Amino acid sequence: MAATDVNIHPSEEMRTLSLSGHVGFDSLPDQLVSKSVSQGFSFNILCVGETGIGKSTLMNTLFNTTFENEEASHFKNGVHLRPRTYTLQESNVDLQLTIVDTVGFGDQVNKEESYKPIVDYIDAQFENFLEEELKIKRSLYNYHDSRIHICLYFIAPTGHSLKSLDLVTMKKLDSKVNIIPIIAKADTISKSELQKFKIKIMSELVSNGVQIYQFPTDDEAVAEINSSMNAHLPFAVIGSSEEVQIGNKMVRARQYPWGVVQVENESHCDFVKLREMLIRVNMLDLREQTHARHYELYRRCKLEEMGFKDTDPDSEPFSLQETYVAKRREFIGELQLKEEQMRQMFVNKVKETEAELKEKERELHERFEMLKRTHQEEKRNLEEKRRDLEEEMNTFNRRKVAAETLQSLQGSSALKKDKEKKT
Amino acid sequence: MTTNIRYKSRLMKSEDSEDKQYVGFATLPNQVHRKSVKKGFDFTLMVAGESGLGKSTLVNSLFLTDLYKDRKLLNAEERINQTVEITKHTVDIEEKGVKLKLTIVDTPGFGDAVNNNECWKPITDYIDQQFEQYFRDESGLNRKNILDNRVHCCLYFIPPFGHGLRPVDVEFMKALHEKVNIVPLISKADCLTPNEVKKLKDRVRDEIERFGIKVYQFPECDSDEEEEFKQMDKELKECTPFAVIGSNTVVEARGQRVRGRLYPWGIVEVENQSHCDFVKLRNILIRSHMHDLKDVTCDVHYENYRALCIQEMTSKLAQDNRTDSPLPILPLPTPDVETERLIKMKDEELKRMQEMLEKMQQQMHEKDQ
């Protein structure tokens, strides 16, 4: 679809009229609110940080509940992402919260590939959404949006500066997701060191061109608080899963031999600020930024890769349809070529096997002939032998008969002689 | 005369009738003490661990000086491809007439790069180099002024942010445990509650045993020591690895000025035993076991290196037809080249005969069939 810009030219007729009565379209925001409340909200957080730095504890503290979580080991081979979805309810608002954990981040000896699984995961979520958007029969209304809205990057409280791994990872992520850097386990840094640490981190981020999420200052309702919070970045937070009695209340805190660190005490840490900014004020803006900025960037890159353009070489608005048809033709052509190739291969193979089989057949014939010949020869030999034998038998019979007759003659003559003698 | 000084023999007087049968070699400890004070001591300590774990601060707290006044820390981008360097700081400190020449060997850049494959190699090379140099000096002709630069102890800093040892920690300790005394420490312990400290210590101890890493063991105390001493020793052994906190600043706590860290929720005192194990570490390292560390380095690690070195040298020389070596070759149980050759020949003959036997068996088998 061609993008048509709606330009409001001063020459066009657009008049503002005043109403003479109450029409009632001021209830539109309320209708929108009730619709979105009934639809429910979804929010996806990605927590990136070393093992044991306090990601799970902070999530528990932030949402005031306990998400079940096993402790991760330090000896994983690579970085894995572990997404978990929970449904939370507060007043009448439903929230589908997905927390994605990076397991094994920062543990390996060689961390050059550590950022890749994270980037791949974020891209995969964008890809899913893009696919849904490009479908013919699509249901964006019901689609469970799994794109990451916010990435909380946990910085280890060394007190000096960012680690090299942090810098490399944040540079890879800043164009794909909203990043809010936070200093984890901040109860190990004293106030003066914290100030210096924050300044060092921000200067390093700026000098390396890392774009972290800035709280929006264009809406006057929240501009003031947002701009003051922007100056407090990165937030130094503490999380706690235990509660301690202070005064007459149970508060989330950490008990040390030298004092008690209260999580919700603004002079102890910036947790309240983080919660305020993340959940109470800017949650919607984070979702919109993800869709409007990061997702659009991804979509643009992906479609340009596929060969789509917004304008022709002649600067005419290009029709998506035409490009699509052209691409399709190309694709089909390629397919046909491949089919031809495969068919050729098949035919060649058949020919080869046929030739082989013919050879074998010929061989078999030859052998058969040979066998037949030998058989006949043998038969002939046998015949000859039989004839010889018969002849022998005949001669033998004759001789026998002759000998018998002779004998009988001799016998009879002897008898005669005897008879003559007797008479 | 009775005195309460440790070495009673200090006031030996020849006209004392009680000491008629007294020979006098009980003054030996005395003499040792005097001579060693005159000679001075030296100690080389290596600190290893990732940046930002508090190594420099701890060294400053241990020796109550500021060794790292003007150092420049690298930015994160410069550290992406950083290689490990070895830096040495030597200071001479003196306390009550006892002089100590302390050398701190630092390893900036360890574990900081993105790819840390074999990042411990420069460190093992350095330790081997020191051994080699001492070996050469010891075997030389003029042995008066040998400088002992061998590393006597290596403090390895484990980050408290994780759940235990990480692969790079395990690899490092396994590469070094036979070359130097390793004392593992849990650094920045002020981010762990007492329960978490105990859990982490148990975890680390288990993993050290599981991976077979030989860390420095405190020597067993003799059975005739006092019960209190034995109890202390047992507690000490159960406390490893020590969870330490260091501080460069002095704060005011409970009316005193102490080394500590000031937080909005309280003050951590470095020398408070209920806050961290810094005092235990200092006692072990400096006050009671410094000499034992040196002894183990000399007697165990150095001797291992030396034996290995000599073995390699003799086998190499034997291959090169026995040229004159500058070192006296000791009779070692390495097999002679001649006997080796004979053994090889006999092996081959055996193999040949076995093959022939098999062939004959096969033939007989066929004939039967």
Write down the pLDDT at residue A137.
80
Domain assignment of residue B202, yes or no:
yes
What value does the CA radius of gyration of chain B take, rounded to a whole number of Å? 28
With a cut of 90, say whether residue A363 has pLDDT above it. Answer: yes
Domain assignment of residue B78, yes or no:
yes
Domain assignment of residue B186, yes or no:
yes
With a cut of 80, say whether residue B355 has pLDDT above it. Answer: yes
With a cut of 80, say whether residue A106 has pLDDT above it. Answer: yes
Give yes or no for a contact between B278 and B245, defined as CB atoms under 8 angstroms apart.
yes
> How far is residue A307's CA from residue A309's CA, in Å, rounded to a whole number?
6
Domain assignment of residue A6, yes or no:
no
Domain assignment of residue A163, yes or no:
yes
What integer best gives the mean pLDDT of chain A?
Answer: 84
| A95 interface with B at CB cutoff 8 Å | no
- How many domains are contained in chain B? 1
Do A42 and A91 share a domain, yes or no?
A: yes
Better-predicted residue by pLDDT, B111 or B223:
B111
Least confident of A130-144, A173-187, A259-273: A130-144
Give the position of tokens 């959940």: A279
Write down the pLDDT at residue A26.
82
> How far is residue A157's CA from residue B161's CA, in Å, rounded to a whole number?
9
What is the H or E stretch that residue A44 is in?
strand A41-48
Write down the pLDDT at residue B6.
46
With a cut of 50, say whether residue B366 has pLDDT above it. Answer: yes
> How far is residue A359's CA from residue A323's CA, in Å, rounded to a whole number?
54
Q: Check residue A110 and report its DSSP letter.
A: B
Tokens of B92: 């001479």
Do A290 and A222 share a domain, yes or no?
A: yes
CB atoms within 10 A of CB A281: 18
Task: Tell me the C-alpha to C-alpha distance, in Å, between residue B165 and each of A76, A271, A367, B170, B211.
Answer: 13, 28, 79, 7, 10
> How far is residue A109's CA from residue B171's CA, in Å, rounded to a whole number?
9
User: What are the tens digits of pLDDT across the range B128-158?
Assistant: 888 888 888 888 777 777 778 888 889 999 9
CB atoms within 10 A of CB A100: 21
Do A247 and A375 share a domain, yes or no?
A: no
User: What are the tens digits of pLDDT across the range B151-187?
Assistant: 888 999 999 888 888 888 888 888 888 888 899 999 8
Better-predicted residue by pLDDT, A365 or A134:
A365
| B275 interface with A at CB cutoff 8 Å | yes
With a cut of 50, say whether residue A4 has pLDDT above it. Answer: no
* End-to-end alpha carbon distance in chain A: 154
A165 CB neighbours in chain B (<8 A) are: 114
| A73 interface with B at CB cutoff 8 Å | yes
Domain assignment of residue A10, yes or no:
no
Mean pLDDT, to the nearest integer, of A228-236? 85
Domain assignment of residue A19, yes or no:
no
Give yes or no for a contact between B185 and B240, defined as CB atoms under 8 angstroms apart.
no
Question: Please, which residues 85-114 of chain B have a Cβ atom closer than 8 Å to chain A?
Answer: 112-114
Sign of the torsion angle spanned by Cα atoms B308, B313, B316, B322: negative
> How far is residue A289's CA from residue B226's CA, in Å, rounded to a whole number?
71
| A170 interface with B at CB cutoff 8 Å | no
Pairing of strands B266-269, B256-263: antiparallel
Q: Inspect the interface and report whether the beta carbons of B264 and A111 lie closer than 8 Å.
A: no
* End-to-end alpha carbon distance in chain B: 107
At position A50, the amino acid (one-letter code) is E
Do A203 and A116 share a domain, yes or no?
A: yes
Distance from CA of A51 to the nearest CA of B (A): 6
Q: Confidence class of residue A246 from pLDDT cuts 50, 70 and 90?
A: confident
**Non-local CB neighbours of B214 within 8 Å, separated by 6+ positions:** B177, B178, B182
Least confident of A5-19, A74-88, B284-298: A5-19
Do A252 and A289 share a domain, yes or no?
A: yes
Q: Inspect the interface and report whether the beta carbons of A257 and B53 lie closer than 8 Å.
A: no
B251 class by beta-carbon count within 10 Å (0-12 exposed, 13-18 middle, 19+ buried): middle
User: What are the tens digits of pLDDT across the range A308-356?
Assistant: 665 555 444 556 667 778 888 888 999 999 999 999 999 999 999 999 9
At position A192, the amino acid (one-letter code) is S
Domain assignment of residue B358, yes or no:
no
Do A374 and A245 share a domain, yes or no?
A: no
User: What are the tens digits of pLDDT across the range B1-19?
Assistant: 443 444 444 444 444 545 5
Do A127 and A184 share a domain, yes or no?
A: yes
Give yes or no for a contact between A44 and A146, defined as CB atoms under 8 angstroms apart.
yes
The CATH number of residue A236's host domain is 3.40.50.300
Taking CA–CA distances from A53, the nearest residue in chain B reads B161
Q: Inspect the interface and report whether the beta carbons of B113 and A164 lie closer than 8 Å.
A: yes
Write down the pLDDT at residue B69.
61
3-state secondary structure chain B: CCCCCCCHHHHCCCCCHHHCCCCCHHHHHHHHHHHHHHHCEEEEEEEECCCCCCHHHHHHHHHCCCCCCCCCCCCCCCCCCCCCCCEEEEEEEEECCEEEEEEEEECCCCCCCCECCCCCHHHHHHHHHHHHHHHHHHHCCCCCCCCCCCCCEEEEEECCCCCCCCHHHHHHHHHHCCCCCEEEEECCHHHCCHHHHHHHHHHHHHHHHHCCCCCCCCCCCCCCCCHHHHHHHHHHHHCCCEECCCCCCEEEECCEEEEEEEECCEEEECCCCCCCCHHHHHHHHHHHCHHHHHHHHHHHHHHHHHHHHHHHHHHHHHHCCCCCCCCCCCCCCCCCHHHHHHHHHHHHHHHHHHHHHHHHHHHHHHHHC
**Non-local CB neighbours of A416 within 8 Å, separated by 6+ positions:** none
**Non-local CB neighbours of A68 within 8 Å, separated by 6+ positions:** none
Do A267 and A327 share a domain, yes or no?
A: no
Do A236 and A340 share a domain, yes or no?
A: no
A257 class by beta-carbon count within 10 Å (0-12 exposed, 13-18 middle, 19+ buried): middle
| A107 interface with B at CB cutoff 8 Å | yes
Q: Confidence class of residue B117 from pLDDT cuts 50, 70 and 90?
A: confident
Distance from CA of A175 to the nearest CA of B (A): 19
Q: Inspect the interface and report whether the beta carbons of A109 and B266 lie closer than 8 Å.
A: no
The CATH number of residue B284's host domain is 3.40.50.300
Domain assignment of residue A13, yes or no:
no
* A/B interface, count of CB pairs below 8 Å: 133
Least confident of A21-30, A289-298, A307-316, A371-380: A307-316
Give yes or no for a contact between A197 and A187, defined as CB atoms under 8 angstroms apart.
no
Mean pLDDT, to the nearest integer, of B259-263? 87
Question: Please, which residues 250-279 of chain A have a Cβ atom closer than 8 Å to chain B?
Answer: 254-262, 267-268
With a cut of 50, say whether residue B272 has pLDDT above it. Answer: yes
**Non-local CB neighbours of A227 within 8 Å, separated by 6+ positions:** A215, A217
Q: Confidence class of residue A10 from pLDDT cuts 50, 70 and 90?
A: low
Q: Inspect the interface and report whether the beta carbons of B166 and A74 lie closer than 8 Å.
A: yes
Residues in chain B: 369
Do A45 and A151 share a domain, yes or no?
A: yes
Domain assignment of residue A26, yes or no:
no
| B254 interface with A at CB cutoff 8 Å | no
- How many domains are contained in chain A? 2
Q: Inspect the interface and report whether the beta carbons of B263 and A168 lie closer than 8 Å.
A: no
Write down the pLDDT at residue B9.
44
Q: Which of A104, A224, A208 is nearest to A164 (CA)?
A: A208
**Non-local CB neighbours of B39 within 8 Å, separated by 6+ positions:** none
| B167 interface with A at CB cutoff 8 Å | yes
Domain assignment of residue B25, yes or no:
no
Write down the pLDDT at residue B8.
44
> How far is residue B302's CA from residue A36's CA, in Å, rounded to a whole number?
74
Do A210 and A341 share a domain, yes or no?
A: no
Domain assignment of residue A58, yes or no:
yes
Q: Which of A206, A222, A115 is nearest to A169 (CA)?
A: A115
Domain assignment of residue A376, yes or no:
yes
Least confident of A89-93, A417-421, B286-290: A417-421
**Non-local CB neighbours of B261 within 8 Å, separated by 6+ positions:** A190, B190, B245, B247, B249, B251, B267, B268, B270
Q: Check residue A234 and report its DSSP letter.
A: S
Domain assignment of residue B87, yes or no:
yes
For chain B, percent of residues with pLDDT exceeding 90: 2
For chain A, percent of residues with pLDDT exceeding 70: 91
Domain hosting residue B230, numbered range? 32-248+274-316
With a cut of 60, say whether residue A296 has pLDDT above it. Answer: yes
For chain A, percent of residues with pLDDT exceeding 90: 20
Q: Inspect the interface and report whether the beta carbons of A164 and B52 lie closer than 8 Å.
A: no
Domain hosting residue A333, numbered range? 319-401
Q: Inspect the interface and report whether the beta carbons of B166 and A208 lie closer than 8 Å.
A: no
User: What are the tens digits of pLDDT across the range B80-89?
Assistant: 777 788 888 8
With a cut of 50, say whether residue A91 has pLDDT above it. Answer: yes
